[in-house]
Structure formats: structure tokens, C-alpha cells
Amino acid sequence: MKLGKRFVVMPHTQVKLRQRDPEDTAGFSKGHKVDAHLEKNVARMADLQYRLYAENRRALLIILQGMDAGGKDGTVRHVMSGLNPQSCRVTSFKVPSSEEASHDFLWRIHKAMPARGAMGIFNRSHYEDVLVVRVHELVPRPVWSARYDQINAFEKLMSENGVTILKFFLHISKEEQKERLDQRLDDPTKNWKISPADFKERKLWDAYVKAYEDALSRCSSSTSPWYIIPSNKKWFRNLAVSQIIVETLERMDPKFPKPVVDLSKIKGK
């Protein structure tokens, strides 16, 4: 099953998240078969990453967005576990520093884009500037509303310069978020992840849903698509994200470059 086709947001589609079931597992059931499938995807991803690195002509950027406790960290930990850090970098975007805030909102994003031959993973991204900035009214509406077109133009520029962009919205229900936040309170190993802000942001759930719907609707293109990944089931989230990354890398079909020397003159020496 091509999970990419199932979960992609087609260009010019009006997204309504209430119509997307966060419990959906596309017919898969938790168990050894899914675990084996994920393991196979992780290994295949590592092989394709190596080819991409050797080819040194193109790059792949993976963007992870979602509500608080949506599983961005868990996706990085479980799906990207087999990648070689030599050609892969994870960047987490938090509140802009004073230096970042003194530039345009895409400045820090451009700096973090993966080089040719590399894979980049963004834990949050430039979309925060049409999400949290919008919900909290940190800039006037004319400013943030202009950013959709600016984001599309930026991603088009990156695509034309050899960067394939995959954008994943990790879709959880409000009830699932509450359960995960409560787990962070109850589990001593997760206490460090909780903050009062998490529960304050929860009160703005509906505003964030609307902001995400607009971002998903207005910024999904054929070259930089959004995928809405049902993420109430963590095991399926990991399977779906890994499968779509593998599908994308296989379409890219990176090739090993030809040797720069005549190997016949070296063999046997």
C-alpha cells in the first residue's frame, strides 16, 4: 500500500481536520509484522541515505509539525534511528533568539537547510510563523497572512535547487493529547518535558486547529507536499512516516557516482 497517496494533501485542497481520523491505521494491526515492516523501512532508508550522500547532488528535508505531545520527538527517535549522523542533522526551532528575531522569519530556516547529499529534519519549522505567531497575535494579521505566499515561494526556490521537502503533520485528538500530557506528569522520566505552557496552549486547541487547516490547505504543493499522519497510535505513526520517506527516496533514486579514477589501473597493486 502506498501510504503517501493515502495521506497526502493534494494541492488546492481545503483541509478539515475533523474529517481526518487520528485513529486510522490504514488496515494495519499492531504486532510483529508491523515491527518487521518498520525495521525494513529503517534499513532501506539508511541505504538510500548513503546513496544520496555519495551522489552529492540533491538533499532531502523532513519537516515535523503537530500539536504539543503530538510525537515529533518520538518520530525522530524511532524512525530516524538508522540514519548516519555524518549526513543528517536534526534542527529544533524554538522561540527565536534576539539575533534571529532581528532578521526576516525565514533567515534561520535558510541557514539550517540541508546541504547537497544530506538529509535535514526540522522539529517544528517556519510554519510556526503562521501557527503560534497567528494564534497568539504576535504580529498583525497582514504580516502573518502574507507569509503563506512567502513560504510557498521559499519552498519552490529550494525545490528548484535540488531540495526535496516532505512535511508531516502528526495528527492527534484532543483526548489523546490530554492522556499524553498526564503521562508526562505521572512518569518521573518524562517530568522534564512538561511545563505550565503546555496546558495553557491546550485551551487554544480550536484556534490551532484552524491555523493548521489554513497552513495545510495553502502550503501543500506537488513538490513540497503535506502529509496528515494519523498519530494517536504511535506504532502506526512511525510506520507511516518511515514508509513515505522510503517511497520518496526511491522516487529520487539516488545513484552512486562513477569512479574518478581508472579502477583497472589500481586493482592488484
pLDDT of residue 262: 80
User: What is the model's pTM?
Assistant: 0.96
pLDDT of residue 265: 79
Letter for the amino acid at 57? R
pLDDT of residue 268: 63
Query: How many separate helices (H) and strands (E) can be counted in the chain?
Result: 12, 5
Instruction: Please give the distance of CA 252 from its chain centroid, rounded to a whole number.
Output: 18
pLDDT of residue 263: 79
> Is 172 exposed, middle or buried (CB count within 10 Å of its CB: 0-12, 13-18, 19+)?
buried
CB 164 within 8 A of CB 222: no
Quick count: other Cβ atoms within 10 Å of Cβ 185? Answer: 13
CB 6 within 8 A of CB 236: no
Letter for the amino acid at 40? K
pLDDT of residue 259: 86
SS3 102: coil
- Give the chain's residues under pLDDT 50: none
Domains of the chain: 3-9+49-253 (3.40.50.300)
